[in-house]
Structure 1
Amino acid sequence: MLIDGSKMEGGGQVVRVASAISALLGISIRINKIRAGRSKPGLAAQHAAGLKLVAALCSGVLQDCKIGSDSILLEPRKISSGTSFMADAVTAGSCTLLLQSVLPCCVVRDDERAIHVVLRGGTNVAFSPPIDYTIHVALPLMRRLTGMEASVSLKRRGFFPRGGGEITLTVSPKERLAAFRMLERGDVVELQGIVLGSEQTLKELQSSLLQTLREEPALGNLSLQLSQEVIAASVSSAAVVIWAKTEGGCVLGASALSEKRVNPHQLAGQAVESLRESLSHGGCVDEHMQDQANSFASSCA
């Protein structure tokens, strides 16, 4: 099957979703024009690491997978019976995007032994869901909907430009996931979140976040369960991750990240505005979860 990697936004999501479905269904794919919509087209380190891990998980043949390549061939074979895997983006390439590539290949297979996958790179970096979103939004939602047994432990955070983060994905596979329907979202009943930054930044972030939420009509009457985490002074990043739980069992998340000079009020405003937009659309999932859910559709009964 030939896939045009320039479609939609022309980014790496085409590669992640296509390779995962290829491995699950046993269909060979050739992806051309990889990341044609980006300023630096072709595979980056994170995409190459993800493809190599997918190939290992499906005992597949992978050709032309190198940094900068705009075309790859993946010929999947049998899902591997291995139980321990590792991928390293080397740079601050996103751990959570690596996880999106490989999780569908781990949750469905005949062997019921638990699988452990170590992923290294950036855990809170631009243009990708933060690890906190994966832990508190994506995985709980997919567990509830499909019955998958998967969890992620965070060993070490990684920020731009050094990376160095590490997470471990643990999965107890199933032969098939349960089919799911999400039609009724219901009202928001609970708000939770986490803020990351220096000690001084955390105080300002928390204050700004609470103030911004109070000014938001759809969320202002809800209390926020907020946790904080101090990060090293040598790291210039700061982050906000918030998520809303609804009457219908849905979880929608949003985040904002600063990798240089931090403006706490602006950062808090970006996160709240992103969540407000997701809620205003009336859907049961946010924009990040839409892509991730699609990768599991082919494995549901």
Structure 2
Amino acid sequence: MIEIDGSEGGGQLLRSSLSLSALTRKPFKMINIRGKREKPGLQNQHLTAVNSISKICNAKVIGNFLHSKELEFIPSEIVSGNYKFDIGTAGSTTLVAQTILPPLLFANQISTVDIVGGTANPLAPPVLDVKEVFLYHLNNFGAIVNLEIEREGFYPKGNGKIKLTINPCKKLEFKIIKPQDKVVNVFAVASNDLSDRKVAKRMIDGFVSNFPRDYKSISHAWYVETSSTGCYIHANYKKIGMSILGERALTAENVGKECALKLLEEINSKADTDHFTADQLLLYLAISGSGTIHVSNITDHMRTNINIIEKFLDVKFEIKNNVIECKKI
């Protein structure tokens, strides 16, 4: 059994371990789960990830309860199906999706997964980020995954809903293919109660006025019926993405401005994609067996992810000048 100390990482360490364990059928035990976080142990979102993937791979689990700091996970065969998971809070639907996606890609039949919870969270990729950027890259590797946003859900009530349709694939080939068009796609989403203040349009105005004029931009603004007030902006260029959530302390214009400046940083780095997406793609780089990805900067999050991947798969990563290379061993 693979033993993992969870004190140095957060939820990503747990999610990657669950995905890889289900995929390889290698059991693991994790202690000190999220040990250095303000609220250590399993929170609702993490517990939903554990329970959902245990159902998908018929796992035997010890320690799957709220605030648990230790977990034993013994996977069995991956089972395709039509799954429904409810986080019960505004916890991130996209992070639960991130956990269950790798094993279901290698199930024997097509699967659908409905997940209810939050769709725009401070420490997780908003759903548009996953739909517009992450899945674009993953599908270029040979996957066929579709994501539908059935309902947006903001903190604190959540109640958003996404639907994944995951087709099985035999193998993945890691390759970064960028679109040829030179268009910045900008999406602004706000709850209906913010429409009178034109929050979505103001976020877009803040973005456009702070982005170089030689880039053509296509803007999409919409208001949605939600259980809680909220807003966010997502923009991408050649499938390098950036998303910023609205905050009480920020004007809508400044939310758009922050998105523009951070996206421009990623573009100017000449990276293959933004560092948030790159972090999510590392597991698929390892599954494919070999390849390289150029990132804007190497984060502690990436290093933690690499360390856990190397525990489960026969691969070795090398990092040099912001280029991450993966090789079979």
Interval of TM-score (by shorter of Structure 1 and Structure 2)? 0.7 to 0.9
TM-score, with normalisation over the residues of structure 2?
0.81
> What do residues 192-248 of structure 1 show as CA deviations (whole Å, max 9, x unaligned)?
02012222212322221110113xxxxx31111110111349743121100111xxx
Percentage identity across paired residues of the two chains: 24
What does 1:17-56 align with in structure 2 at a 5 Å threshold? 17-56=16-55
Match in the other structure for 2:129: 133
What does 1:105-254 align with in structure 2 at a 5 Å threshold? 105-109=103-107, 111=108, 113-144=109-140, 146-177=141-172, 179-182=173-176, 189-197=182-190, 198-199=194-195, 200-214=198-212, 220-232=213-225, 235-245=228-238, 251-254=239-242
Q: Which amino acid aligns with 1:287?
A: H
> What do residues 125-175 of structure 1 show as CA deviations (whole Å, max 9, x unaligned)?
22111100111111011101x110100111111000000011111011023
**For structure 2, which runs of at least 5 residues remain unmatched after alignment?**
290-329
TM-score, with normalisation over the residues of structure 1?
0.88
Match in the other structure for 2:86: 88
Q: Distance in 2 between matches of 1:108 and 1:239?
A: 33
**For structure 1, which runs of at least 5 residues remain unmatched after alignment?**
215-219, 246-250
Match in the other structure for 2:297: none
Offset, 1:37: 3.0
Q: Which amino acid aligns with 2:174?
A: F
- Whether the aligned pair in 2 keeps the contact of 1:6 and 1:36 (CA below 8 Å) is yes
> What do residues 23-78 of structure 1 show as CA deviations (whole Å, max 9, x unaligned)?
11111111122112321111110011011111111111111011111111111111
Q: Distance in 1 between matches of 2:111 and 2:39?
A: 34
Is 1:271–2:270 an aligned residue pair? no
Offset, 1:187: 9.2
- CA RMSD of the aligned region, Å? 2.0
Offset, 1:186: 10
Q: Which amino acid aligns with 2:257?
A: G
Q: Distance in 2 between matches of 1:134 and 1:141?
A: 10
Is 1:280–2:280 an aligned residue pair? no
